[in-house]
Structure 1
Amino acid sequence: MSKQKSSVPQPAEPEETKAPSNGIFVFRFDPSKRGAALKVFIAGVLALSLFSVVINSYVQLNEVYSEISSANAELNILRSENVRMQTELEGKASISNIKEYAEQHLGLQKLDKSQIQYIEIQTEDEVVLEEEEQNIFVQIKHKFEDIVAYLRG
């Protein structure tokens, strides 16, 4: 029987590492540790990417807080401007300003006692309206309509 080479790789036998006399150490690569190094590299890349995602989210959160702060500052400025304008409007609509405008621009004057005229009004609680005279045919017609309305209910 002849020896055939198998396709299954055999574990590498550890080689002895000897320290050279010049002080330089030679490290030999151990193929069994290749998977461990790859796992450490992948874990490091994942940790770095996770760290960058967290930092990015904090940066975006800080930007949103800055926008909210500037919007609140603008809101406070607009509210104070509103109060100022309301006060100005109330000042312009005061009685003294209206009186001054009426006298200067419209030529109006305050009434004197001589300009006041009193009117007497009868204040009875009852108002009487006289009915128009109706001829006999109109009266009959109204009586007939009243009877029909009574019968219908």
Structure 2
Amino acid sequence: MLEDKNYINGTAARKLEYDVYEENKVLSAKKKQRTNNKIKMKVIFCLLIVFAMGSLAMYRYSCITEVNYEIDRQLTAYNEIKNENIRIKVEIENSVDIQKIKEFAEKELGMHKPDKHQITYVKVPQSDLTIVSEAAKQEEIKNAGVFSAIINKVNLLANLLY
């Protein structure tokens, strides 16, 4: 169906070509002012949105930077403590002297090396006997069964290949 711009859709009435705003200068100025105000509000609203998004991005980056500074401070403190521990370990290792320990044990604690008549030698038999529990024996038998089954399978496979 062809649309004719001179008719109102659905009726046989012709469209009026009369616009009140074109003839009346006051009304046309008001209409122009209204459209300008709408455009200005849209521009201001868009600028506010852009400003809010920029502020949000800056806030996010400032939070990330702050967390990074805190991580750096904690890492520096950790490294200082670790270096202090290493220094203390070295100091302890340097301060431990066998001769000083021997002198302390002899003078302060009254310790001394045993005399020859105080030393007792114990003979240890060459054969070392170990008693195996029943549970260990049962597990060994079960494991031997599994291993023997695997070995049998491997042997069968080897026989097939030859």
Structure 1-normalised TM-score? 0.53
Shift of 1:109: 3.8
Query: Which of 51, 60, 66 is equivalent to 1:48?
Result: 51
Normalized per residue, the structure richer in helix is 2
> Matched residues, percent identical?
23
Q: Secondary structure at the match of 1:30?
A: helix
| C-alpha RMSD of matched pairs (Å) | 3.4
The structure with higher relative contact order (CA 8 Å, sep 6+) is 1
Structure 2: which 5+ residue stretches go unaligned? 1-18, 27-31, 128-162
Cα distance change on mapping 1:98 and 1:59 into 2, 3 Å: same
The higher radius of gyration belongs to 1
Provide, for residues 96-152 of structure 1, a one-character-per-residue CA deviation record: whole Å limited to 9, x for no partner: 2321211221133456xxx323767777769xxxxxxxxxxxxxxxxxxxxxxxxxx
Matches within 5 A, 1:101-116: 101-110=104-113, 115-116=115-116
| Aligned pairs (5 A) from 1:63-78 | 63-78=66-81
Listed as ranges, the gaps of 5+ residues in structure 1 are 1-8, 17-28, 127-153
Match of 1:32? 35
**Change over 3 Å in CA distance of 1:12–1:104 after alignment to 2:** farther
Paired residue type of 1:58? Y
In the TM superposition, residue 93 of structure 1 has moved relative to its aligned partner by 4.3
Instruction: Name the CA distance, whole Å, in 1 between partners of 2:62 and 2:122.
Output: 82
Determine the structure 2 residue equivalent to 1:95. Answer: 98
Aligned residue-pair number: 103
